[in-house]
Amino acid sequence: MPTLQTLFDASAQRHRNHLCPRQVLGVRMGLYAGELLGLDLPQTDKRLYTFVESDGCLTDGVAVATGCWWGSRTMYLMDYGKTAATFVDTLTERAFRIWPAVESRQRAYDYAPEGLDRWHAQLVGYQNMPTAELLQAQTVTLALSLRTLISHHGGRVVCDGCGEDIINEREVRRGGQVLCRACAGNGYYQLPAVDSVRSVLCPA
């Protein structure tokens, strides 16, 4: 098992070579999840699945501690803008949501050298604070189907609207048509007006 320091270093390395308090929280949350679920982390398989509730710093810490990552389809962003994550054992479906205790911000000063500003006190304090003071955890049941979310490997359909491939069963079936989410009207982007499409596609 890697030491705490190894994990902090690994997290910093993927975070423009610096460590910040939220990465520390991510590492500690990931390790705590392993303890609660009785799993050896970081995993080399896909047994643990993590829902992170914000992107950024936290996810780098969670990733190195757990081995969960977008690339292995074991991490999912529930963008609530919160420093929290839910860790699911996909074998047993046991799940824990973990978040920093409200008082941990203030308590960080007790676990850091005197005279540090708030940011540095948290950076050091979060590394040293006992888990029971730093984090809170609660068992939860998922309100969505993890099986549907993970889907299966190799499935592929073609969108009747745009002709692009859709994997992971993310298609929408409507009136006998197979559509991607964008063509079904749930797109996060809009296409430019026809004239500007032409100018991008055919500059001549």
Q: Residue numbers of the site for Zn ion (CB under 5 A)?
A: 20, 57, 159, 161-162, 180, 183
The nearer residue to Zn ion, 2 or 161, going by C-beta atoms, is 161
Compute the C-alpha angle 50/169/139, nearest 5°.
Answer: 25
Q: Which is nearer to Zn ion, 147 or 174 (CB)?
A: 174
Sign, Cα dihedral of 19, 27, 105, 99: positive
- The pair of structure tokens assigned to 143 is 């309100």
If we measure between CA atoms, which residue out of 168, 12, 3 comes closest to residue 76?
Answer: 168
CB of 94 to Zn ion, least distance (A): 30
| Least distance from Zn ion to the Cβ atom of residue 16, Å | 8
Q: How near is the Cβ of 162 to Zn ion at its closest, in Å?
A: 3
Nearer to Zn ion, 57 or 62 (CB): 57
Q: What is the helix, strand, coil percentage profile of the chain, to 5?
A: 40, 20, 45
Smallest separation (angstroms) from Zn ion to the CB of 65: 15
Of 37 and 180, nearer to Zn ion (C-beta) is: 180
Nearer to Zn ion among residue 71 and residue 163 (C-beta): 163
Helix count and strand count (H, E) for the chain: 8, 9
In angstroms, give the least distance from the CB of 32 to Zn ion: 20
What is the C-alpha separation between 104 and 160, in angstroms, rounded?
Answer: 52
Taking the C-alpha atoms of residue 185 and residue 175, their distance in angstroms, rounded to an integer, is 14
